[in-house]
Amino acid sequence: MNDYKIENKRKITVVVPTYNRPACISYLVEHCYSKYSGNLFCFEIHDSSSDDSTKKILDEACLGENFRYFHYDPELNGDVKTMRAISNVSTPYMYLMGDGIVMDFNALEEWLLAIDFEKYSIIGIRENTIHKYSQRSVAAQCSTQNKQQFFNDYFWMLTLYGASIISREIAQTAFKMSEKYKSLPPFMYICSVFCALEKVGGPCYFSFLPFFEFNPNKKSVGWIASRQAIEFFCYIYYESMRLLPECYNAMDSKFLKKHNDLSGLFRLKSVLKMRVTGNLTYKLFRKYKFYIKKTVPHMSYIYFALLIPAFVMRGVYKIYLRLFKKRETA
């Protein structure tokens, strides 16, 4: 895994940050990396796991010279690690891909070549089944020079590690501008990218793709387990938007709430889940009340969840899930 040569034809480095998820990497090796037979991509695994399970999987897979492995201190913040990783990419483009994304790289290569991807500073991609957009054509796409419009329409979708392919110039400029987000890591990558776009410029492209899937082995969500949903998506989100260039008009109240509406995090089912898992409590509401009111699209759901004691809410949530499943199968 240490010998690494990038052939001239390799244009895009796929950067994969991971932490204590060997099952996810094993699945990607079998269903994603080993099936790639093209010439466009090379791959880097940036691992900060507390053991060598992930490295062993990659070593045993013998994926070849177009794969490189890096290990970091497990205590290093994941977003800081990510910014460090993308700053060192030497190919003309880089694709930040989370270990929860399963991509058909052969199909992606064919698609990128068809759209002449090297014309663009940022290429945004998401799964074509994404909610709120599921009625759109699979061919729905956007190509624009308008930074504000691109930001307004696609910011939320590009927050996913797996939704953006960016030029090396954007990546390196983003790294230089990421310092101001050091205390706000959850949005460090995407906000730094849009800061870089404002400085570097260039056309952007977005499309929904049918060969974009999710890793079935990635089941846990870190910020849910650590009870940080409100902190991340109200407080840190709001403060991150404040640091963006004025041209994006990111502090517009409609935009702030649109992001959290599209995420689905503050719909009734999700708010009930936050209450049940300790992500929404009276204490957290009092602490982040200002930010909640500025960023949450459905405040009535918050008030409803808080009116009911947590132990009762657990029962309500189970009933809701049962009814929701019945409606889905009807």
Please tell me the predicted confidence (pLDDT) of residue 254: 92
Q: 97: pLDDT confidence band, cut at 50, 70 and 90? A: very high
**Who wins on pLDDT, 302 or 326?**
302
**Angle at CA of residue 212, ends 204 and 271, nearest 5°:** 90
> Can you tell me whether residue 155 is helix, strand or coil?
helix
Please tell me the predicted confidence (pLDDT) of residue 324: 65
Q: 4: pLDDT confidence band, cut at 50, 70 and 90? A: very low
Res. 6: pLDDT tops 70: no
Mean pLDDT of 89-115: 95
Mean pLDDT of 269-290: 92
Res. 144: pLDDT tops 80: no
Please tell me the predicted confidence (pLDDT) of residue 189: 96
Q: What percentage of the chain reaches a pLDDT higher than 90?
A: 65
Mean pLDDT of 22-44: 94
Please give the DSSP secondary-structure letter assigned to residue 208: E
Nearest-angstrom CA–CA distance, 98 and 224: 17
The answer to whether the beta carbons of residues 117 and 165 sit under 8 Å apart is yes
The answer to whether the beta carbons of residues 221 and 27 sit under 8 Å apart is no
> Can you tell me whether residue 106 is helix, strand or coil?
helix
Mean pLDDT of 235-251: 96
Please tell me the predicted confidence (pLDDT) of residue 245: 95
